[in-house]
Amino acid sequence: MRLPSLLFLILLITGSNLRAQIYESPNYSLTSHPTMDIVSIENWDDQMHVTLNLKNERYSASFCIDSNTILRNSLGDEEYKLLSMEGIPACPEQYKFKTIGERISINLFFEAVPDGIKYVDLVENCDDGCVNIRYILLDEELNPRLNEGIQLYELGKPKASLQVFEDIMKSEYDGLSPVYGTVYLYLISIHYELGNSKDARRVYQELRESSIIGRDDFIETAKESGIVR
């Protein structure tokens, strides 16, 4: 009668070691490839698994990932090497898209990232057209709230989206974290869309006077994308 109990204990210990932190649709602040989405990130004890989805928008396009791609702590200098990849060849080999609008799933496996790191950059070290996704948020609680605001905005519900983002700023804002640069951009855009130009200018001024990490990049993005009017 002791064997089943021992087997259960072994399975329990093994299972506890196999649990991963999973971030569905993690938010990021800046990207070099607007048609590339991060589907999920799984952080295991021995590796971090990043799943990407890339949509092709060019005729006769091709794509690859350099084997020198890394994850980097956005707020430090620690780097985590790419171990392997699936769904895309390593450069110089190329995947040739068959049609415009075709989507492919890309799986990248990196060295494990310590639990205390909240932001990472995905950096492809190459010569041309390199992937660079900055300030990817590793936060299981905040990511769903941000996604709710973004989804409401994309569904054409700016007032509901505005409420979500304003609630996040009231309850979570720490004055430093780069994710709030993205929230600022949404707030500015939504206020203009709702005809609240005075509030939009106020929020933009708050961004300019803030101390969030990457502030100048967010200000430049606001100008280049036409959010600031």
Question: CA-CA distance, 158 to 193, in Å (whole number)?
Answer: 8
Altogether, the residues listed in the chain come to a count of 229
Set out the domains of the chain in order of their start, with CATH numbers. Answer: 19-137 (2.60.40), 142-224 (1.25.40)
Name the range with the highest mean pLDDT among 9-18, 43-52, 121-130.
43-52
CA 62 to chain centre: 23
Average pLDDT over residues 19-38: 90
Q: Going by C-beta distance under 8 Å and a sequence separation of 6 or more, which residues neighbour residue 185?
A: 218, 221, 222, 225, 227
pLDDT, one tens digit per residue, over 69-102 is 999 999 999 999 999 999 999 999 999 999 999 9
Look up residue 37 and give its amino acid.
D
Question: CA-CA distance, 60 to 207, in Å (whole number)?
Answer: 41
pLDDT, one tens digit per residue, over 99-128 is 999 999 999 999 999 988 999 999 999 888
Residue 5 has pLDDT above 80, yes or no: no
| Cis peptide, bond prior to residue 92, ω within 30 of zero | yes
In 3-state terms, what secondary structure has residue 77?
coil
Look up tokens 């990196």; give the residue: 110
What pairing do the DSSP bridges indicate for beta strands 79-86 and 70-73?
A: antiparallel
Residue 210 has pLDDT above 90, yes or no: yes
